[in-house]
Structure 1
Amino acid sequence: MTPWRFVVGFGVVSLLADIVYEGARAVTGPYLASLGASAVLVGVITGAGEAFALAGRLVSGPLTDRTRAYWPLAVGGYTLTVTSVPLLGFATGLWSAGVLVIAERAGKAVRSPAKDVLLSHAAGAVGRGRGFAVHEALDQIGALVGPLVVAGILVLSAGDYRPAFFALAIPGVAVLVVLERLLVRVPNPAVYEPTRQAPTAGAGAPTRLPTAYWSYLAFAAATTTGFAGFGLLAFHLATHAIVPLAVVPVVYAAAMVVDALAALLTGWCYDRTGARILLAVPILSALIPPLAFQDQPIPAVVGALLWGAVLGVQESTLRATVADLVPVQRRGTAYGIFAAGSGLAAFAGSALLGLLYSRSLTAVVSITAAIQLVALIIFVTYHLRLRAPNRPRPRGNP
């Protein structure tokens, strides 16, 4: 199997998985609200879920490097995710639903370092930015289809969430089938890695992550702290009746289209210009709250689309840069620590913005702008350190 075929194959896995968990995620805020959650509690639950999804990789990342059990960890994590979502249809109260929301995100913590290492091997042969971007674009097709499916079922079921959650079990089964086929065809994707980056073992293996990596982590954590989650955006859209309930997942789907386009654009730019393209992240993030939290549909939807653009960069180019900053022997750990820092920042940011939202929208806008200014200063200050020393030259075209 060629590197591009492997990248596309893993993209199909993510496409199917996104139908499952992005379909559910599109209505998490309103669903929790229907069970009695306040804005603060929505922020805490969704933030805790993201924290588990990211901070949990402090364990799974080093475990990936130590065991190199890439496929078992990837399959196990996907299994946890695609079973947790349909079980939401059986939830009888707020706390049981909250546990399942967090469990779905925990599945991502288990699989993501291993998945990112598997993908980084193949992407290294075709251009790291483009490889991760194409994977993210396919991923977002699922993120588009899932919310639309949920929206349609909500209309047909008169707002009953259970049939929508049950229907998402079908693509969940398909995820595991495609994973099994990829495993059989390519049991060791490290064969794609350029020779100078091939994994080695023994005393010569590096034990410390480079300074450039830590500088990059500081920037990513800062900008993530000031990034409003869609759970809170959806809560605002639904509880203020800015758009009908069934339209909320449609808005999310539109944001996923923007996500895919932003990933492809920034991935292409990254392979040609390097990390400076990431300057767009704090700038766009600062623009989201003053638009998304208005009471008029047009600016609120524009804010949600900007949210999708920033998420696209975070999920593709931000991840691609990590692989280029660290030696291949430490990639699992690097991805785990990077995600942990980002996850703790996401949790703190979600809880903070949820609290501020319940008190003052002006405070949300001003605090977010201040946080993103700090991120921008960190990026500019350490830009030279963010130059990636391990960027391989891409081969071929998708």
Structure 2
Amino acid sequence: MTAVRFIVAFGIVSALMDMVYEGARSVTGPYLGALGASAVLVSVVTGAGEAVALVLRLLFGRLADRPALRWSLAISGYALTALSVPLLGISNALWIACLLVLAERLGKAVRSPAKDTMLAEAGSSLGQGKAFALHEALDQVGALLGPLLVGAALALTGSYGPGFLLLAIPGLAAMLLLFWLKNKVPDPAAYETVPGQPPAEPATPQADARPGAPPAPPGRAAPLPRQYWIYAAFSSLTMFGYATFGLLSFHLVQAGLLPPALVPVLYAVAMGVDAVAALASGWLFDRVGLKVLVVLPVLAAAVPWLGFSNNTVLAVAGVLVWGAAMGVQESTMRAGVAGLAPAARRGSAYGMFTACYGLAWLAGSFLIGLLYEQSIPALAVTITGVQAVALVIFVVVRPHAGRP
């Protein structure tokens, strides 16, 4: 199988699984609210879910550095998500629903470093920006269809349960395709081997560390360079000041701006915006490098001013801006890690990177939830200030220095 076909096939797997977990995420806020959750609890649970999906990649990223474990991690992570979401359809207790939301996000933590590492290997000849953007665009097809399926079920039945149960079907299809893909491409690392040449040696510090740094002793992994850590700090600040869709959707329903059945439809539209933004930013990344991320703090700062307003048009516009920011964050930010980390440590680099901004997102979600209940203008001003600091780091300290 060619590298492009591998990326497309993995994109279809992700699209099917996105139907499952994005379908669930599209109604998580209103669903928890219907079970009695407050705005703070909705923000904390959804933020904690993102933190679980991101922080635990530190552990699973280290495991993903071992090529023999990558497929096992991917399969077990996808399986956990495929099981957790349908179980929401038979749960009526708030605490059980919260645990299942976290379990679904745990599945993403287990699979993502291994998946990203395999995609980076396949994208070595295609271009990292194009590879991740192509995968993200296919991914978002499922993110579009899943919420529409849940929205239709909610409109027809008036209950969240049937929609969650229907998501078991694409989950099963994704698992079957994933096993087929593993059999077709048991070792994606082969995509980084040039025909007729011996396999590439693991990256050494000379190529990735600061100029003049001494080489690492034999047998030791190359260190993560300074630019990588600056990039992680910038990314963490942007996510600290980034609201979750759970709280945005909670606001839409609680403020009476949209009926519950239309919330997943709006989420599906936001995922369409996400896909377009991912393709555009991925294309630009391959031409100008990390500089394309200058737009991310600007988009994130606009979200609270629009998304938490009491005007339906402005609130809907805020959700669409949120979707555009997610497209940039989910495609180009990942591609940036591939360019700043030594090839032999990509798994752990992805894990460390996502752990940093996952913890920041959790802390920010707690603060945003508290501010939402106290003063929405104060919330918007605070987020704008955080994103301004992130923009200063990006423009002045320049984590992309020395890169294209």
**TM range, smaller chain:** over 0.9
Cα separation, 1, equivalents of 2:375 and 2:135: 39
Q: In the alignment, which residue of structure 1 is the partner of 2:212?
A: none
CA contact (8 A) 1:125 1:194 kept: no
| Number of residue-to-residue matches in the alignment | 388
Q: Does 1:246 align with 2:265?
A: no
Moved over 6 A (4+): none
Alignment match, 2:79: 79
Q: Which amino acid aligns with 1:301?
A: V
Following the alignment from structure 2 to structure 1, what is the Cα–Cα distance between the partners of residues 399 and 71?
A: 35
In structure 1, distance between residues paired with 2:249 and 2:399: 38
Residues 140, 256 of structure 1: 8 Å contact kept: yes
- Give how far 1:194 is off: 5.4
- The change in CA–CA distance for 1:384 and 1:352 in structure 2 (over 3 A counts) is closer
User: For 1:345, which of 340, 357, 360 is the aligned residue?
Assistant: 360
> Are the aligned partners of 2:289 and 2:400 in contact in 1 as well (CA < 8 Å)?
no
Matched, 1:212 2:211: no
SS in 2 for 1:125: coil
1:274–1:387 Cα contact (<8 Å) kept: no
1:356 to 358, 371, 376: 371
CA distance in 1, matches of 2:31, 2:200: 46
The answer on whether the counterparts of 1:198 and 1:328 sit within 8 Å (CA) in structure 2 is no
Q: Which residue of 2 aligns with 1:395?
A: none
Q: 1:197 to 1:18 in 2, by over 3 A?
A: farther
Structure-to-structure mapping, 1:186-335, within 5 angstroms: 186-193=185-192, 195=194, 198=200, 200=202, 203=218, 206-335=221-350
Give the Cα separation in 2 of the matches to 1:388 and 1:166: 47
Structure 1 residue 204 displacement after superposition:
5.2
Equivalences for 1:151-190 in 2 at 5 Å?
151-158=151-158, 160-190=159-189
**Structure 1 residues 373 and 11, CA gap change in structure 2 (3 angstroms):** same
What corresponds to 2:208 in structure 1?
A: none
CA distance in 2, matches of 1:6, 1:30: 37
* Gapped regions of structure 2 (runs ≥ 5): 204-216
2:85 and 2:399 map into 1 onto residues whose CA distance is 43
| Worse-matched range after superposition: 374-383 or 361-370 | 374-383
> What is the one-letter code of the residue matched to 1:164?
G
Task: Please identify, of 377-386 and 160-169, the stretch whose mean Cα deviation from structure 2 is larger.
Answer: 377-386
* Two-structure CA RMSD over aligned residues (Å): 1.6
Residue 392 of structure 1: aligned partner: none
> Aligned residue for 2:112?
112
Deviation at 1:203, TM superposition (A): 2.7
Paired with 1:230 and 1:243, the residues of 2 have a C-alpha distance of 14
Corresponding residue number in structure 2 for 1:141: 141
The whole-number CA distance in structure 2 between the counterparts of 1:184 and 1:194 is 19
* TM-score, normalisation: structure 1: 0.95
Output the CA distance in 2 between the equivalents of 1:63 and 1:26.
31
Distance 1:385 1:257 in 2: 28
Q: What secondary structure does 2:123 align onto?
A: helix
Inter-CA distance 197–155: structure 2 relative to 1 (3 Å threshold): farther
SS in 2 for 1:228: coil
Q: Secondary structure at the match of 2:257?
A: coil
Q: Check the 8 A contact 1:216/1:386 in 2, yes or no.
A: no
Task: Using the TM superposition, give the Cα deviation of residue 297 of structure 1 relative to its aligned residue in structure 2, in angstroms.
Answer: 1.2
Q: Secondary structure at the match of 1:316?
A: helix
- Residue deviations 1:200-228, cap 9 Å, x none? 39935533111111010000000010111
Matched AA of 2:120: S
Deviations 1:25-51 (A, max 9, x none): 000000000100000000111111111
Deviation at 1:92, TM superposition (A): 2.7
